[in-house]
Amino acid sequence: MTPLAPGATIGIIGGGQLGRMLAMAAARLGYRTVVLEPQPDCPAAQVANQQIVAAYDDPAALARLAATAAVVTYEFENVPVAAATRLAGTVAVLPPPRALEVSQDRVAEKSFLNGIGVPTAGFRPVEDDVDLAAGLKSFGGSGVLKTRRLGYDGKGQRVFRDVEAGGYDGVCASLGGGNLILESLVPFEREISVIAARGRDGALAAYDAAANVHRDGILHTSTVPAAISPKTMDSARKSAFRILEALDYVGVVGVEFFMLPGGDLLVNEIAPRVHNSGHWTEAACAVSQFEQHIRAVAGLPLGHPARHSDCVMENLIGDDVLRAPALLAEPGLVLHLYGKAEARPGRKMGHVTRLRPAGA
C-alpha cells in the first residue's frame, strides 16, 4: 500500500494516556489526529488536533470519525466490537476488529492461543459455584477466578490456594454472577512481556522483553533487560509473531507471559494496543512503541526495535505524582506526566524511566 502522506489524519478511539502518547508520536511523523472520547479535555485531546465528544458506539460520531480519518486505531481493548466493525466498512481499522473480539473475552483469548499452538495456563469457563467447585477440584484446589470481560489492573479476580471442597457459596455472585473463567494457578518465576509489531506489508519487529513487577494488581516497574536466557527471549518473540500473523494484525501488541522455572513460557494475556510495560521504549529506544504503532497503521516501514540503554520504568500511581519535582533532580531520568487533573488511589498519573548505559 501507499503510506499515508504527511498531513493525513489518524483517528484514535479512546482518550487516555495511551491515546495521548499515540497522538504525540503521530505529530512527530507529520500526521494530524482526531480522538473519539466521551470525556471532554481528556489526556489525548490535550495534544490531538480534534476531539469528537461522544460515546464509542455513537453512530453519528462513528460516521464523523470515518469521514475525518484516513485510518482509525484504538488505545484500549474494550472498544465495542460492533462499532469497530461498522467503522471498518468505510475506513481502515487497525488493528482489525478480530483482535478486539479475541482479546475481550478471556475464554476466547485462551482458546485462540491454544488453537495456534501458544501455551497458556489451564482454564475452564465458570457460570456458577458448582462449576467453580468442579474447576478447583480439577486444578488441585488452586486457581484464579476472573471475570471473562472488562477486568484490568487486578480488578474482578479471586485467588484460591489449596482450598478444600466447599465454601464457594456466593463467590461467583460477588464477581457479577456467571460469565467467569477459572485459570490454574501458575508457579511462575517471574512475569515478562514483549512488545511486538506487524506492518501493513507483513514485516515483524519485537522489542526486548521486560521483567514486570506488580503491586496491588497494577504494574509497578518494568526492567530491561529482563535477565532471561536467549532461548526464552526467542520463544517469547516467536509466540508474539505467531499471534500477530494469526490475526492478520497491523500495529503494536503487548503480550504478557508467565516464565516458569527452567525458562518455559505461558501467555497470560494479549493486549491489542500499545502497552504499559512498553513505556520504557519511549526513553530507551530510537523508535518508541508509540511511533512503531503509528508507523504500522500508516503503512510506513517499521522502526528498528533495538534499545540504546538499559532501564527501569516505574509507574506513578495516585499521589506518586507529587514526587515529580524531586524526581526531576535525578540524572538519567525521563519523566512523562499524563495531564490528568485529579490524582486518585490506583490511578496512573505518569511514569518515569531511569536510564543506564546498556550492559553497565
Q: Could you tell me which CATH number the domain at 122-183 has?
A: 3.30.1490.20
- Give me the pLDDT at residue 153, please: 55
Question: If you classify domain 9-93 with CATH, what class do you get?
Answer: alpha beta
Same fold, 9-93 and 122-183: no
**Tens of each residue's pLDDT in the chain, 360 residues:** 799 999 999 999 999 999 999 999 999 999 999 999 999 989 999 999 999 999 999 999 999 999 999 999 999 999 999 999 999 999 999 999 999 999 999 999 999 999 999 999 999 999 988 898 899 999 988 999 999 987 655 566 888 887 766 667 777 887 877 789 999 999 999 999 999 999 999 999 999 999 999 998 899 999 999 999 999 999 999 999 999 999 999 999 999 999 999 999 999 999 999 999 999 999 999 999 999 999 999 999 999 999 999 999 999 999 999 999 999 999 999 999 999 999 999 999 999 999 999 877
Q: CA angle, 99 as apex, 97 and 103 as ends, to 5°?
A: 125
Q: DSSP assignment, residue 177?
A: S
Q: Taking the model in full, what pTM does it have?
A: 0.95
The span from the CA of 38 to the CA of 15, in Å, is: 8
CA 19 to chain centre: 12
Of 88, 170, 93, the residue nearest 132 (C-alpha): 170
Q: Which helix (H) or strand (E) is 292 found in, with range?
A: helix 289-298
Are the C-beta atoms of 22 and 47 separated by less than 8 Å?
no
Cell numbers placing 138:
480439577
- Give me the pLDDT at residue 162, please: 76
CA distances from 174 to 70, 128, 129, 162, 177 (A): 44, 11, 11, 20, 7
Cell numbers 505461558 label which residue? Answer: 266
Q: CA angle, 73 as apex, 70 and 76 as ends, to 5°?
A: 160
- Give me the pLDDT at residue 158, please: 84
SS3 29: coil
Count CB atoms within 10 A of the CB of residue 206.
22
Of 218, 201, 229, the residue nearest 276 (C-alpha): 218
What are the φ/ψ torsions at residue 85 (nearest 5 degrees)? -65, -40
**Domain spans of the chain, in order of start:** 9-93, 122-183, 190-357
| Among the four given CATH numbers 3.30.200.20, 3.30.499.10, 3.40.50.880, 3.30.470.20, the one describing domain 190-357 | 3.30.470.20
Are the C-beta atoms of 253 and 270 separated by less than 8 Å?
yes
- Give me the pLDDT at residue 171, please: 78
- Give me the pLDDT at residue 152, please: 58
Give CA torsion, residues 17, 268, 126, 171, to 10 deg: -70
Give the DSSP per-residue string, 74-139: ESSTTS-HHHHHHHHTTSEESS-HHHHHHHTSHHHHHHHHHHTT--B--EEEE-SHHHHHHHHHHT
